[in-house]
Structure 1
Amino acid sequence: MKRIIYTLIGLLAFNVSNAQELETLIDEALNNNPEIQKFELQYSIASEKVNEVNTLPNTEFGVGYFVSEPETRTGAQRFKVSAKQMLPWFGTITSRENYVSSLANSKYEDIVIAKRKLMASVLQSYYNMYANKAKQDVLVENIKLLETYETLALTSVEVGKASAVDVLRLQMRQNEMQQLKDVLSQQFLAEQTNFNNLLNRGNNIAVNLVDSLMIPSKDFDVTIENLALHPELLKYDKLYQSIEQSELLNQKESSPMIGFGLDYINVAERPNMDFSDNGKDIVMPMVSVSIPIFNKKYKSQTKQNELQQQEITAQKQERLNSLETLLDKAINERISARISYATQTKNLKQAKDAEDILIKSYETGTIDFNDVLDIQELQLKFQMNQIESVKTYYVQSTFINYLTQQ
């Protein structure tokens, strides 16, 4: 699990202190998340059941009193005490323990799966907050830029080179950006609550985010073969093994059971008689055998086990196909994010060049503030798309690691 954490955090292109802080957050989530605790308790319960099945059938005790005392040569029988213990066939208890242990092993895979999903969720929420904060920062920069243009427009109005309408348009555009920033701010708080809930801590605890993320120059290698060893698939193997153990137990339980017992009968002395066995109590050891002559139940259980194994095999193949589809989609989306990032970077540079041309136009005495708004809107669009591309790259990289990291 530590290796997975290091691999996921190794994707992040920021300084060591931030990486260590994120590792600490993931450890906190793994230790405190109630869903993980739930699966760990389920595993503990399943493991404890081994002690439950490691027992013999109940010992039977019986007491009887003769209301009408039967007379025997040695005296009248007054009451009877009996004890009986049935013993399962050799190896039956061991088979039960193996079956329950195999069920516990499948429960353990639930813990591994839940931890992997939690780490991926923590990182995804982190990237969502980063993208939200980065977009807010971009909006603040663009609002300041529009304020600069507004100052230019006011100056142009004074000299008759622009109209008040141009100033109002710039102000309305600022209002729209401020509205978008306020909306993003509320969305950030909601995502922060989600992040803190994953760590099972107070909703209002602030999360320290990295200042900037960049797409690395080279993608990490993806080992497709590791997909076959994913915990979601290994769980099906464990379930298949539990059915095998269930069948072994079924065969043992279809065997006879042997019982050992002892009957004690109290005998009263015959009055006015003197002989050696007068009033001698009766002790009778007993051996019994329980044979499942009508074993249709066990034959049916064998058939059910065979069908369940076929079902598990089909479910595993279905899940493998789904994971392969998800992995291929994640790889392609990560490639698309890199392409989009490169395109947005190029467009952003061109938008910046256009902005510089407009500024130089103002210096010569001519500026079209409609062009200013158009260029500013394009620039904002490219910046937002660039941030979204970075987020998508890291989210998909996290998901790829969830599927393939061992």
Structure 2
Amino acid sequence: MENEIAIGYRKGEAGNSSPDDPKSKFYNLTSSFYLLITTLFLLSFSSFGQSLGDYQRIASENNPGLQAKYKEFEAAMQKVPQVNTLPDPSFSFGYFISPVETRVGPQRAKFSLTQMFPWFGTLKAQGDVATLMAEAKYQSFLDAQNQLHYQVAAAYYPLYELKQWKKIEQKNIDILQSYKTIANSKFKSGAAPMVDVLRVDLMLKDAETNLSILDQKEKPLRASFNQLLNREEGEAVLIRDSLEAEALAANFRRDSLLTNNPVLNALDLKIQASEASELAAQKQGLPKLGVGLDYAVVAERSDMSLADNGKDILMPMVSVNIPIFRGKYKAAVKEARLMQESYTLQREELVNSLSSGYETVWFDMQQQLELIELYENQLVTTQQSLNLLFSAYGNSGKEFEEVLRMQQQLLKYEKMMATAEAKYQIALAKLHYITAKTE
């Protein structure tokens, strides 16, 4: 854009236009206006395009842990064709070193092909087990994605809190510097003691040190956030300037606490898979049927002429695999039943945990809302008290220590307000996680 403006200005010179020419001034003003509008648009677009939701989407696309969860689901899906397909047929070949003599000639070689078939419904049951376990893996992936979104939020809002603290601390430094100027002026005029200047100096050094520590704290917080997005540790993170903490209706999203939770869904699917596994184990303990075909190569007899002399032999066969040793089949059935009981108990435990977790998070949110309201009122009162004290100091030159104390109290409430806002948003993100909100 700057190059375009410069080119436009040189074109004006080529047309014998001076910088003082009205047309040239119009081109310069117009170019500056477009530059300003474009800059504001890009800044607003960048801020809008990098909301917390955008960061969560980036994390969903790039986080290696989440990608690993999805690969587990894809791998589990490949288990289905492995277990619901017939076993490979068996082929054998034999050559008679000493030919077996028959009426129509000696047997030279023999070919055998056999295919075993498990009991009816066995393959379907095994396929159901694999399919249900794969669906459970997908639910685990969805839970990992929801958990990742919560982790991104839990790493984002401390950055917001830090940004607010830095702004508050810088404002405090500016105010203290103005106080120092006033205290110096009053000391020179003999209206206030030198100790007032020294007190401000001490507080200024404290504030500057605090700001330096906050600057250093930003690096690890930003690194932790970018790590969730699988980005460079030092990449910039755009943080909102303000947050809104709105009171929610009672029992907000509680109806979805136990209906759409991926972990509960995964356990339900595992229970179904265990039931299908029990059925599969029972069917595996039933006989297996085999169908085969034998083909024998017969050479011709040379010592006589016979009907069918040298005719090859074709023999269909049927076989039965009888599961006599029942211990392993009984153990497989018992294992499936025990896993059903285990998953049922895990589900019951998770329901209790979700219910108590909801109450804990809800309490935390209400607590932060009350604190925010308290700090808002305290800030108004403290600011009014500070204004009165400062007016009294301007008139009498006394009570400067009380002015500084009240200024630090104001600073304290402002920081506590920012912390409460961040904690509320983190608690809200946790509520969205345990109620499985995906948007």
**Given the two structures, how large is their TM-score scaled by the length of structure 1?**
0.90
Structure 1 pair 16–332 and aligned structure 2 pair: CA distance change class (3 A): farther
Distance of aligned partners of 1:332 and 1:345 in 2 relative to their CA distance in 1, 3 Å threshold: same
Pick one of 334, 351, 354 that aligns with 1:323: 354
The yes-or-no answer on 1:24 pairing with 2:54 is yes
SS in 2 for 1:99: helix
Where relative contact order (Cα < 8 A, 6+ residues apart) is larger, the structure is 1
Give the Cα–Cα distance (whole angstroms) in 1 for the partners of residues 233 and 358 of structure 2.
Answer: 33
Q: Residues 76 and 269 of structure 1 are in contact (CA less than 8 Å); yes or no, is this contact kept in structure 2? A: yes
SS at structure 2 position matched to 1:85: strand
Inter-partner Cα distance in structure 2 for 1:204 and 1:60: 61
Q: Which amino acid aligns with 1:87?
A: F
Q: List per-residue Cα deviations over 1:202-253 (Å, max 9, x = no partner).
A: 3333222221123225557513232112212221111111111111211221
Q: Which amino acid aligns with 1:148?
A: S
Match of 1:257 in 2: 288
- Could you tell me which of 320, 323, 326 is aligned with 1:292? 323
Aligned with residue 343 of structure 2, among 312, 330, 355: 312
TM-superposed deviation, 1:283: 2.1
Alpha carbons of structure 1 residues 103 and 383: separation in structure 2 relative to 1, 3 Å = same
Matched letter for residue 120 of structure 2: F
Tell me the residue number matched to 1:266: 297
* Correspondence 1:86-97 to 2 at 5 A: 86-97=116-127
Question: Is residue 2:137 matched to residue 1:107?
Answer: yes
Residue 34 (structure 1) aligns with? 64
Aligned CA distance change for structure 1 residues 197 and 178 (closer, same or farther; 3 Å): same
Residue type at the aligned position of 1:207: V
Q: Is the 8 A contact 1:127 1:394 kept in 2?
A: yes
349, 358, 374: which one aligns with 2:389: 358
Pair 1:261–1:305, CA change in 2 (3 A): same
Among residues 89, 94, 97, which one is paired with 1:64 in the alignment?
Answer: 94
Three-state SS of the structure 2 residue aligned to 1:69 is strand
Is 2:77 aligned against 1:47? yes
Question: Structure 1 residue 402 and structure 2 residue 402: aligned?
Answer: no
Cα separation, 2, equivalents of 1:182 and 1:381: 18
- Tell me which amino acid in the other structure corresponds to 2:327: K
Shift of 1:16: 11
Q: Who is 2:20 aligned against?
A: none
Offset from partner CA, 1:302-335 (integer Å, 9 cap, x none):
1111111111111111122122222111111111
Distance 2:436 2:333 in 1: 38
CA–CA distance in 2 between the matches of 1:183 and 1:342? 29
Aligned equivalents of 1:362 and 1:210: distance in 2? 38
After superposition, the C-alpha distances for 1:235-273 in whole angstroms (9 at most, x for unaligned) are 111111111111121122122111111222222333322
Q: SS at the partner of 1:78?
A: strand
Shift of 1:40: 1.5
Of 209-218 and 389-398, more deviation after overlay is shown by 209-218
In structure 1, C-alpha distance between the alignment counterparts of 2:300 and 2:163, rounded to whole Å: 100
Distance change >3 Å, CA 49–CA 222, structure 1 → 2: same
Q: In structure 2, what is the Cα distance between the partners aligned to 1:173 and 1:196?
A: 35
Letter in 1 for 2:256: N
1:134 Cα deviation (Å)?
A: 0.5
Matched, 1:140 2:162: no
In structure 2, the partner of 1:202 is 232
Count of paired positions: 392
- The separation in 2 between residues aligned to 1:217 and 1:67, in whole angstroms, is 92
SS at match of 2:114: strand
Range 42-51 or range 152-161, more displaced: 152-161
Q: How far is the alpha carbon of 1:19 from its aligned partner? A: 6.3
Return the TM-score normalized by structure 2. 0.84
Match of 1:7 in 2: none
Please give the secondary structure, in 2, of the residue aligned with 1:280.
Answer: coil
Q: Report the equivalent of 2:407.
A: 376
**Contact 1:358/1:367 (8 A) holds in 2:** no
Deviations 1:35-55 (A, max 9, x none): 222122111111122222232
Comparing 388-397 with 222-231, which one deviates more in the overlay? 222-231
* Unaligned ranges ≥5, structure 2: 1-43
Does the aligned pair in 1 maintain the 2:152–2:225 contact within 8 Å?
yes
Distance 1:188 1:268, change over 3 A: same
Aligned residue number for residue 28 of structure 2: none
Q: CA RMSD in A?
A: 2.2
Q: Distance in 2 between matches of 1:106 and 1:258?
A: 33
Shift of residue 136, structure 1, vs aligned partner: 0.5
Identity value in percent: 34
Q: What SS does the corresponding residue of 1:325 show, helix, strand or coil?
A: helix
CA distance 1:330–1:206, shift in 2 (3 Å): same
CA contact (8 A) 1:222 1:404 kept: no
Is the contact between residue 132 and residue 184 of structure 1 (CA under 8 Å) also seen in structure 2? yes
- The superposition leaves residues 77-134 of structure 1 with CA deviations (integer Å, 9 ceiling, x where unpaired) of 2222211111112222222221111011101101210121122222222211111101
Return the match for 2:204 from 174, 178, 185.
174
Runs of 4+ in 1 over 4 A off after TM superposition: 15-20, 217-221
Secondary structure, counterpart of 1:214 in structure 2: coil
- 271-280 or 90-99: bigger deviation: 271-280
Q: Which runs of 5+ in 1 are unaligned?
A: 1-14
